[in-house]
A and B are shown apart, each in its own frame.
Chain A
Amino acid sequence: MIPAAFDYTAPESVADAITALGSDSEEIKVLAGGQSLIPVLRLRLAAPTLLVDIGRIEELSGITEEADTIVIGAMTTHADVAESDLVREHAGLLAKAAQTVADPQVRHRGTLGGALVHADPAGDLPAPILVLDAELVIAGADGERTVAAADFFEDMFTTAVGENEILTKIRVPKHTGWGAHYEKFTRVAQQWSIIAVAVTVQVDGGVISQAKVGLVNMGSTPTRASAVEQALVGQPATGDAAKHAASAAADGTSPPTDTNGDAAYRRHLATVLTGRAVRAAVGG
């Protein structure tokens, strides 16, 4: 478990990082918390020639509030996201999902930006980011651009972040007062999601006024269960309504088959767990 040799640089600003990424080393990789990249290197599934460690760039860490938006630096760790009062209050779904990632060690090293750029189909953070309609700020040689979460996840392990770019911030619209639940299904406590369901709902006078539902590991990218979302709006915030709406959860998904279950099982789980997640999110 020894990686192939690589060069290493640790710039202290985003501008310097972009410069480093533009250097003529053969294969350049950004290193964030290393919780996905280091295992890949140790197994020699990748052999970059230069690692640009963005861990010393202070402006990339931290959680702030800008009017109707929570702004989270890409280098903010899962632990900080999970424990942040701002995130808990205004984007409860994200805090709850971050809390389910791996174990405390990983949560204290792994970063939100890293998890999103890594874009593992079984990762816990892409789906909440998708359903919260976040925007992702990407810096490159030509300056900054902003990409909607719906356009960010292109395929498994593939995002809108280009080779010479870094993700700098995640802008999450406030969902203050929304109920939220992240339902993660695993066989052992420390496992990637077999599937997971991310739900956040707004309830007005016992009726669901807005609903957002995302699915993890039901396709190569996180997906939104739009049929469920539509079916929920206007329904009473009860278990029965949740269950009924959830029956459409697997529509249009293409889940994988692996040692934990086949596609049919995952589709079934999606309906059951979506019902449970909605029930929990509405406070039932």
Chain B
Amino acid sequence: MTVTEDRPTTEVGSSRLRKEDQRLITGRTRWTDNITLPGMLHLAMVRSPVAHAKITSIDVDAAKASPGVVAVFTGADINDEQGSLPCAWPITEDQLAPPHPSIAVETVNFAGEIVACIVARTAVAAKDAVELVDVEYDDLPVVLDMAAAAEGGDLTHPDLGTNVSATWVFDSAEAETGGNVEQAISEAEVLIERTFRQQRLIPAFMEPRSVVCDPTGEQTTVWSATQIPHILRLMLALTCEISESKLRVIAPDVGGGFGGKLQVTPEEVVTLVVSRRLARPCKYTETRSESLLAGHHGRDQIQKLTLAAKQDGTVTGLKVELLADMGAYLGLVTSGIPILGAFMYNSIYKFPSYRFVCKNVFTNKNWTDAYRGAGRPEATFAIERLMDELAAEIGVDPIDIREKNWIKHEEFPFSTVAGLEYDSGNYEAATAKAKELFGYDALRAEQRQRRDAGDQVQLGIGISTFTEMCGLAPSRVLGALSYAAGGWEHASIRMLPSGKVEVITGSSGHGQGHETAWSQIAADRLGMPFDDIEILHGDTQVSPRGLDTYGSRSLTVGGMAVVAAADKVIEKAKPIAAHLLEADADDLEFSAGRFNVKGTDSSVGLTDVSLAVFAAHNLPDGIEPSIDAEATFDPANFSFPHGTHLCAVEVDTETGETKIRDYTCVDDIGKVVNPLIVEGQVHGGLVQGIAQALFEEAVYDDAGTLVTGSFVDYLVPSAADIPHFTTGRTESPSTTNALGVKGVGEAGTIASTPAVVNAVVDAVRHLGIDDIEMPCSPHRVWTALQTASSGADTPRDKTMVDDNADPSHNAQVSDGSGAEGFTGQGGLG
């Protein structure tokens, strides 16, 4: 394709300010909750306060009689239309799953589940009536502990006969991608065994979820604060048995998602069904409390790990036995989240053998699903913690142990023990640069000094080298994993007669800056000014095909579709340009938006061709009067960004408090379209990963009630809690896409959690500590110090036994000291 050669890249690589920021930051834009339609009704949900119970009766009479109330619906009322919420990823053929009604019908299975829906003329009237619905519950045994649940006992869903939804296995010996891990373990000179807990997290996006449905046209229009308008349309059609062509889904501006809006929600189904029943537009917007309670959660896994190695530090095998808490139901990709991690436990290393077994378990908690990184942060945490433990065990520097095992840059492309082919990377370069920016050797020296002096504040240094599979995903691979859809992305380009350009993308940005980055790509590719390009997305009527935004896929897959569509535009324009120039098409070259007749100064602009096809007065015979084009890009492989993250923390041994002193990361994400956007993605990602390491945890009490139900207790850090970051980059372009890009949306989140926890453990390792459970709160660090200094079992041994052993998991219980304990502050601002 000679036409695409020699294109200047003046836009790609420049730190343009994001063109969407003005409207997003000021809020003067199309958030779903800003939408008001004539005659619109408002919904409010009645939610179960109990975690597991039979619904014995629901009395809605008082609510129906309340002023302004139009209707009240229970699960029974809409059961013939609500269907069962979809799970698009049955990971095994015999996967078990309960029906997943949007409004509970006979039983409730987690606290927060919807039991009735109020429809009223105003949001206030709807809210007022919520309290008037009288539901009687007959309590059932509450299943909360995934480890116990996996073994049997009380059942979350008695009809299934077990709490285990599915067991999924990858074994390198069976897959013939490596050796037998049991043999490696039996022959190991060094064995590291650990159990880590990935606590439950809440995505906590800024804009609460909101949905508006308007059934008054030929198509029912659904506006939703979603990451996935295209998938949502298909899934709503299938779930509610509505013709797909009768639905139009719009994701207007969406305020964050982090995977939390990669879902088909009960609230969306209920709003759709109710609006169609009543033939009136309806709106539902959740409160922040509802968002924390009933928006899907993330993580929540227990990882039992065995690492086999030689005395010289060469790893010979890794065995992962995973328990994953599904919560009460399977959401859109709930069951597949641990599987997304399955291919990443071996990370950047050349492990000869590997086995991964995952049991997905039901409990009476809100269901889990995608959360930034989805499976890959868990995997990275596990292996990066283990590599530090191995280094400590054999007494070498943790960077050296990594270097001994990682894939060398000259060994790419490299087929891993998990069956992936890594196309490119340079772990040596990223690590060397990170060490230098961080001042690694000086910090190690200071650490030794403080240890020797027995300082009250100890210094710890944490390392995390990581890679991840980005650019979800080659469709064939998804098929092999039984995922219901493909992984391609679509783009189309409309060349407007005035010379302006509309680029329509199937990606559905919700804060990432796609409008800016895609404009930069299209500007370079078409040789057009940045400001002449408009990016349209998030509306199934405007953007006909798409698979939306998640899994760091938008640039590597969606961006490539834009490139392909732009190339087709030029391809189509070329014969017309030749006609206008009265030249032979073969004599034309395209550069900076113009077709030139080689060796002459005769040329015509692409925009002139746009106008010419609009008029269609003077075109070559038989040619269609359009240079618009579309393209669907299916990646041949994942992309594999990587990086080296270094973190220095100070741990106050008197209080257990951890402060991050320095954080340095060098990421290799291949080519960079907009360095400023990348920096933003890295910073935000780091904060989210640090939050898992130190602050955030969704806690349920013994009755299955969410204790961390507001931001008073669910601790999302702010800028004041976060250090300045030192960021750097190395560039090993991806060889699997023409842009050379790899994806950066999840990098910071994946890498930072183990870097921070490794640093905390490193600060107190000399005091006899080799693990601290996340989040490493001051209380947990102090408890570990107490336990170590009393010579009792290490905290690791304790947490291995029972993930509910730590009393701090059960917030607001009396202290059991016999003194008059009380139950904490009201915490209501």
Query: Which of B239-247, B275-283, B607-615, B817-825 participates in binding chain A?
Result: B817-825
What B residues does A45 contact at CB under 8 A? 828
A187 and B822 in contact, given A256-B812, A257-B815, A263-B815 (Cβ under 8 angstroms): no
Most A CB within 10 A of own CB, among B654, B707, B819, B829? B829
Chain B residues with CB under 8 A of A260: 777, 779, 808
Q: In the complex, what distance in Å separates the CA atom of A45 from the CA atom of B827?
A: 12
Any B CB within 8 A of the CB of A142: no
**Contact flag A190-B821 (CB < 8 Å), given A255-B815, A264-B815:** no
21 contacts between A and B (CB under 8 A): A1-B287, A39-B829, A40-B829, A122-B824, A187-B715, A187-B778, A190-B718, A191-B712, A192-B712, A192-B825, A192-B827, A254-B820, A254-B822, A257-B814, A257-B815, A258-B713, A259-B697, A259-B713, A259-B812, A272-B654, A272-B655
CB pair B819 A254 closer than 8 Å: yes
Considering the chains assembled together, what is the distance between the CA atoms of A122 and B814 in angstroms? 16
With known contacts A1-B289, A2-B123, A256-B823, A261–B654 Cβ distance under 8 A: no
* Bound CA span A2–B699, Å: 26
Binding stretch for chain A, among B100-108, B124-132, B158-166, B333-341: B124-132
Q: Does B695 contact A (CB under 8 A)?
A: yes
Q: A265-B783, A272-B655 are in contact. Are A44 and B131 (CB under 8 A)?
A: yes
Q: B123, A121: Cβ atoms under 8 Å?
A: no
B130 nearest CB neighbor, chain A only: A44
Q: What is the number of contacts between chain A and chain B, taking CB atoms within 8 Å? A: 133
Closest A-B pairs by Cβ, 10 of them = A263-B815, A122-B825, A189-B720, A261-B779, A39-B829, A259-B811, A254-B819, A258-B824, A257-B815, A256-B824
- Residue of B at shortest CB range from A4? B128
In the bound complex, residues from chain B placing their C-beta under 8 Å from that of A263 are 815, 817, 819, 821
Inter-chain contact A39/B828, CB cutoff 8 Å: yes
Taking the nearest CB of chain A, how far is it from the CB of B300, in angstroms?
Answer: 16
Assess the B777–A261 pair: CB atoms within 8 A: yes
A residues 245-284 touching B (CB-CB < 8 Å) = 253-265, 268-269, 272-273
Whether the Cβ atoms of B655 and A273 lie closer than 8 Å is yes
A113 contacts the other chain (Cβ, under 8 Å)?
no
A35: chain B residues at CB < 8 Å are 829
Separation in Å of the B696 CB from the closest CB of chain A? 10
Complex Cα spacing A272 to B811, Å: 23
Mostly helix, strand, loop or mixed at chain B's interface? loop
Contacts beyond the supplied A259-B697, A261-B777: 14 A-B pairs with Cβ under 8 Å: A4-B128, A44-B131, A121-B825, A122-B825, A122-B827, A187-B777, A188-B717, A188-B721, A254-B819, A254-B822, A256-B823, A257-B811, A257-B815, A265-B779
Interface of A, helix, strand, loop or mixed by DSSP: loop
CA distance A264 to B699 in the complex (A): 20
Q: Which residue, A122, A123, A187, A264, has most C-beta atoms of chain B within 10 A?
A: A187
Q: Is A157 an interface residue (CB 8 A)?
A: yes
Tell yes or no: A38 within 8 A of B by CB: yes
Nearest chain A residue, comparing its CB with the CB of B44: A2
Q: B448: shortest Cβ distance to chain A, in Å? A: 26
Query: Hey, which chain A residues are within 8 Å of B289, CB to CB?
Result: 1, 43
Residue of A nearest to B654 (CB): A272
Contact mask for chain B residues 770-798; partner A; CB cutoff 8 A; 1 contact, 0 none: 00000001110011000000000000000
Chain B residues near A157 (CB-CB < 8 A): 826
A272 vs B778: C-alpha distance in the bound complex, in angstroms? 13
Total residues of chain A contacting the partner, CB 8 A? 47
A36 at the interface (CB under 8 A from B): yes
CB neighbours (8 Å) of A36 from chain B are 828-829
CB distance from B824 to the nearest CB of A (A): 4
Chain A 178-211 per-residue mask, 1 if CB under 8 angstroms from chain B, else 0:
0000000101111110100000000000000000
Q: Are B708 and A259 in contact (CB under 8 A)?
A: yes
Give Cα A257 to B822, complex, Å: 8
Residue among A4, A189, A219 making CB contact with B822, cutoff 8 Å: A219
Residue-wise interface mask of A (27-47) relative to B, using a CB-CB cutoff of 8 A (1 in contact, 0 not): 000000001101110011100
Q: Which of chain A's residues has its CB closest to B696's CB?
A: A188
Q: Chain A's nearest CB lies how many Å from the CB of B657?
A: 8
Residues in chain A near residue B811, CB distance under 8 A: 257-259
Given A2-B127, A262-B807, A189–B718 Cβ distance below 8 Å? yes
Instruction: Kindly identify which residue among A4, A190, A192, A259 contacts B808, using a CB–CB cutoff of 8 Å.
Output: A259
Q: Provide the bound-state CA to CA distance between A253 and B819, in Å.
A: 8
The answer to the question of B288 belonging to the interface, with a C-beta cut-off of 8 Å to chain A, is yes
**Does A165 sit within 8 A of B, measured CB to CB?**
no
Within 8 A of B (CB), among A7-50: 35-36, 38-40, 43-45
Contact A217 B825 (CB under 8 A): yes
Contact code string A212-241 (vs B, CB < 8 Å = 1, else 0): 000001011000000000000000000000
Q: A228 to chain B: closest CB distance in Å?
A: 17
- Cross-interface CB contact of B124 among A2, A38, A187, A217, cutoff 8 Å: A2
Docked complex Cα distance between A35 and B777 (Å): 27
Interchain nearest-CB distance for A244 vs B (Å): 15
Docked pose: A176 CA to B289 CA in angstroms: 46
Which partner residue on chain A sits nearest B652 by CB separation?
A272
CA distance A220 to B718 in the complex (A): 29
Flag if B807 contacts A257 (CB, 8 Å): yes
Q: Is B813 an interface residue (CB 8 A)?
A: yes
Q: Does A120 contact B (CB under 8 A)?
A: yes
Decide yes or no whether A156 CB sits under 8 A from chain B: yes
Q: Which residue of A lies closest to B777 (CB)?
A: A187
Name the residue in A45, A188, A261 with the highest tally of chain B Cβ atoms < 10 Å from its Cβ: A188
Q: For the complex, what is the distance from the CA of A187 to the CA of B654, rounded to whole Å? A: 15
A253–B817 Cα gap in the complex (Å)? Answer: 11
Residues of B contacting A67 in the complex (Cβ-Cβ under 8 angstroms): none
What chain B residues lie within 8 Å of A272 (beta carbons)? Answer: 654-655
Give, as a whole number of angstroms, the nearest-CB distance from B128 to chain A: 6
Q: Are B813 and A43 in contact (CB under 8 A)?
A: no
Instruction: Report how far A260 CA is from B713 CA in the complex, Å.
Output: 9
A35 to B826, CA, bound (A): 13
Chain B nearest CB, measured from A33 CB (Å): 10
Among B123, B655, B713, B718, contact of A185 (Cβ-Cβ < 8 Å): B655
**Chain B minimum-CB-distance residue to A253:** B819
CB-CB under 8 A from A256, the residues of chain B are 812, 815, 821-825
Give A123 to B812 CA distance when docked, in angstroms.
17
A45 vs B695: C-alpha distance in the bound complex, in angstroms? 27
Partner of B720, one of A190, A194, A273: A190
| CA of A186 to CA of B717, assembled, Å | 12
Distance in angstroms between the alpha carbons of A146 and B149 in the assembled complex: 59
Could you say which residues of chain B place their CB within 8 Å of the CB of A1? 287-289
Determine the distance from Cα of A140 to Cα of B820 in the docked complex, in whole angstroms. Answer: 33
Docked pose: A192 CA to B712 CA in angstroms? 8
* Residues of B close to A185: CB separation below 8 A: 655, 657, 778
| B825 contacts A123, C-beta separation under 8 Å | yes
Q: Is B777 touching A43 in the complex (CB atoms < 8 A)? A: no
Contact B826 A189 (CB under 8 A): no
Q: How far is the CA of A257 from the CA of B814 in the complex (A)?
A: 6
Q: Which residues does chain A contribute within 8 Å of B814, judged by CB atoms? A: 257
A45 to B655, alpha carbons, bound, how many Å?
Answer: 35
